[in-house]
Structure 1
Amino acid sequence: MHSRREFIHRLAISTAGIPFLSSKFPFFDDRPLRVAIMGLGGYGTRVGEAMQSCRRAKLVGVISGTPSKIKAWQEKYNIPDKNCYNYENFDNIKENTDIDAVYVITPNALHHDHVIRAAKAGKHVICEKPMALNAKEGQDMVNACREANVKLLVGYRMHFEPKTLEIVRMRKEGEFGKILFFQGLSGFKIGDPNQWRLDKDLAGGGSLMDIGIYAINGARYMVGEEPVWVTAQETKTDPQKFKDGVDETIQFQMGFPSGAVASCLSTYNMNNLDRFFLNGEKGFAELQPSTGYGPIEGKTHIGPLTQPHKTHQTVQMDEMAGIILDGHKAIVPVDGVEGLKDLQIIDAIYEACRSGQKVSLQA
Structure 2
Amino acid sequence: MHTRRDFIQKLTGSLIALQISPALVTAGCNNIIVPYDGPLLRVAIMGLGSYGTRVAEAMKDCKKAKLVGVISGTPSKIKDWQAKYNIPEKNCYNYENFDQLKNNPDIDVVYVITPNALHKDQVIRVAKAGKHVISEKPMSINAKDGQEMIDACKKAHVKLLVGYRMHFEPKTLEIIRMRKAGELGKVLFFQGLCGFTIGDPTQWRLNKQLSGGGSMMDIGIYAINGARYMIGEDPIWVTAQETKNNPEKFKEGVDETIQFQFGFPGGAVASCLSTYSMNNLDRFFLNGEKGYAELYPSTGYGPIQGRTSKGELTQPHVTHQTVQMDEMAGIILEGKQPVVPVDGEEALKDLKIIDAIYEAVKTGKKVDLKL
Same fold at TM > 0.5: yes
Q: Quote the offset at 1:112 in angstroms.
A: 0.2
Specify the alignment match of 2:188 in structure 1.
180
Alignment pair present for 1:273 and 2:281 = yes
Counterpart CA distance in 2 for 1:50 and 1:362 is 37
CA distance in structure 2 between the partners assigned to 1:32 and 1:107 by the alignment = 28
**Percent identical:** 77
| Corresponding residue number in structure 2 for 1:125 | 133
Residue in 2 that maps onto 1:140: 148
Give the superposition deviation at 1:30. 1.2
Task: Spell out the pairing of 1:32-43 with structure 2 (5 A cutoff).
Answer: 32-43=40-51
**What is the TM-score normalised by the length of structure 2?**
0.91
Alpha-carbon distance between aligned partners in 1 of 2:126 and 2:370, rounded to the nearest angstrom: 30
Distance 2:281 2:136 in 1: 22
Aligned-pair distance for 1:362?
1.4
Q: Shift of residue 31 of structure 1?
A: 2.5
Say whether 1:189 aligns with 2:194. Answer: no
Q: Does 1:98 find its partner at 2:106?
A: yes
Give the SS at the match of 1:341.
helix
SS of the residue corresponding to residue 261 of structure 2 reads strand
- Please give the alpha-carbon distance, in whole angstroms, between the structure 2 residues aligned to 1:279 and 1:149: 41
Find the counterpart in structure 2 of residue 168 from structure 1: 176
For residue 361 of structure 2, the aligned residue among 330, 353, 357 is 353
* 1:1-363 equivalent positions in 2, closer than 5 A: 25-26=34-35, 29-363=37-371
> 1:181 deviation in Å?
0.2
Equivalents in 1 of 2:124, 2:179: separation in Å?
Answer: 36
Distance 2:43 2:133 in 1: 9
Question: Aligned partners of 2:270 and 2:75: how far apart in 1?
Answer: 46
Q: How many residues align?
A: 339
Q: Which residue identity does 2:272 align to in structure 1?
A: C
Q: Which residue of 2 aligns with 1:11?
A: none
* Distance in structure 2 (CA, Å) of the matches to 1:258 and 1:98: 47
SS in 2 for 1:60: strand
**Aligned partners of 2:154, 2:131: CA distance in 1, in Å?**
12
Unmatched 5+ stretches in structure 2: 1-32
SS in structure 2 opposite 1:153? strand
The amino acid of 1:244's aligned partner reads: E
For the aligned residue pairs, the C-alpha RMSD in angstroms reads 0.8
Give deviations 1:106-126, integer Å, cap 9, x for gaps. Answer: 000000001000000000000
Question: Structure 1 CA distance, aligned partners of 2:250 and 2:204?
Answer: 12
- SS of equivalent to 2:359: helix
Counterpart of 1:168, as a letter, is I
Partner amino acid, structure 2, of 1:91:
D
1:219 counterpart letter in structure 2 = A
Deviation at 1:25, TM superposition (A): 4.7
Distance 1:48 1:302 in 2: 37
Aligned to 1:19: none
Query: Within 1, Cα distance between the matches of 2:266 and 2:250?
Result: 37
SS at match of 1:273: coil
Shift of 1:177: 0.4
State how far apart, in whole Å, the 2-side matches of 1:330 and 1:144 are.
23
SS of structure 2 residue aligned to 1:53: coil
Q: Distance in 1 between matches of 2:175 and 2:68?
A: 35
Alignment partners' CA distance in 2, 1:341 and 1:349? 12
Structure 1, unmatched stretches of 5+, are 1-23
d(CA) in 1 for partners of 2:370, 2:40? 39
